[in-house]
Chain A
Amino acid sequence: MTRRHRREALAGYAFVAPSALGVGIFVLVPMVLAFLLSFTAATGFGQIQFIGLDNYRTMFGDPLFLNSMKVTVLYVLVFVPGLYFLALGMALLVNGNLPARAFFRAAFFAPYAISLVVVGLVWRYMLADNVGIISVLLAKVGVDNPPSFLGDPGLALWAVIFISIWFFVGFYMIILLGGLQEIPRELFEAAHLDGAGPWPILTRIVLPLLRPTTFFTLVLATISGLAGLQSFDLIYVMTQGGPANATNLGIYYIYQQAFRYNQFGYASAMATWYALTLIILTGIAFKLTKGGRFEFSEE
Chain B
Amino acid sequence: MTSTDDPGGQLWTPARAQVSRRSFLTNTARLGLGALAASSAGSLLAACGGGGSSGSGDTLDFWQWYAPQSGGSYSVKAQNDWFTKLANDWNAQQGKPKVKLTYIPIAQYIEGTQLQSAFAAGKGPDVFVISPGDFLRYYNGGVLYDLTDAVKDQVGDFYKSAMGTRMVDGRVYGLPMEAEPLTMFYSVQAFEKAGLSEGDIPKTWDQLLTVAEKLRSGKQFGLLFETKPNVYQNFTWYPFLWQAGGDIVDPSGKQSTFNSPATVKALAFWQDAIKAGVAPRTTQGGGGGDLVANLASGYAAMAEMVTAGGSFLEAGAPKFKYDMFPLPVPDTSAKPITDMGGWAFCVNKNSKNAQAAAEFCAFAVASAESVDRMVDWAFNAKKSLPVRKSVMKKAAADGQFDKDKLMAYSAFDVVGLDPEGLDTETTPYGRGEPRLTPEVVKAVSDAIQAAQLNGVDPAAAARQGHEQISNVLASYRGAPLGSLT
Contacts and interface: CB of A to CB of B under 8 A. Distances in A.
Contacts of A101: 9
Contacts of B36: 14, 17-18, 21
Interface string B198-227: 000000000000000000000111000001
A162 to B, nearest CB: 16
A39 to B, nearest CB: 17
B421 interface: no
A245 B281 CA distance: 14
B142 A240 contact: no
Contacts of A243: 227, 229, 281, 449, 453-454
A177 interface: yes
A244 B280 contact: no
Interface residues of B, number: 52
A44 B119 contact: yes
B221 A130 contact: yes
B141 A151 contact: no
A211 B277 CA distance: 50
Nearest to B38: A18
A239 B287 CA distance: 11
A240 B230 contact: yes
Contact of A153 (B38, B113, B454): B454
Nearest to B461: A244
A177 B138 CA distance: 53
B454 A177 contact: no
A19 B214 CA distance: 64
Nearest to A17: B36
In this complex, the member of B31, B143, B281, B442 whose beta carbon has the largest number of chain A beta carbons within 10 angstroms is: B281
Interface residues of A, number: 54
Interface in A7-58: 7-8, 10-11, 13-18, 21-22, 25, 43-47
Contacts of A47: 141-142
A261 B142 contact: no
A11 B456 CA distance: 64
Interface string B4-44: 00001111000000000000010011011101101110010
A11 B25 contact: yes
B25 A151 contact: no
Given A11-B29, A185-B8, A145 B277 contact: yes
Interface string A224-257: 0000000000000001111111100000000010
A148 B281 contact: yes
Contacts of B120: 44-46, 264
Contact of B28 (A11, A128, A150, A241): A11
A180 to B, nearest CB: 10
B454 A244 contact: yes
A283 interface: no
A7 B25 contact: yes
B272 to A, nearest CB: 16
A282 to B, nearest CB: 28
A148 B32 contact: no
B446 A245 contact: yes
A261 B282 contact: no
Nearest to A127: B282
A267 to B, nearest CB: 11
Contact of B25 (A8, A128, A131, A260): A8
A21 B39 CA distance: 8
A198 interface: no
Contacts of A239: 228
Given A10-B29, A261-B442, A21 B280 contact: no
B122 interface: yes
Closest 8 CB pairs of A and B: A151-B281, A14-B32, A45-B141, A148-B281, A244-B454, A261-B438, A243-B453, A44-B120
Given A130-B220, A240-B228, A260-B442, 13 more contacts: A7-B29, A14-B35, A15-B31, A18-B36, A18-B39, A45-B141, A127-B282, A128-B299, A130-B221, A130-B280, A153-B453, A258-B116, A262-B438
10 contacts: A7-B25, A14-B31, A22-B39, A45-B119, A124-B282, A129-B281, A131-B284, A153-B454, A241-B229, A262-B438
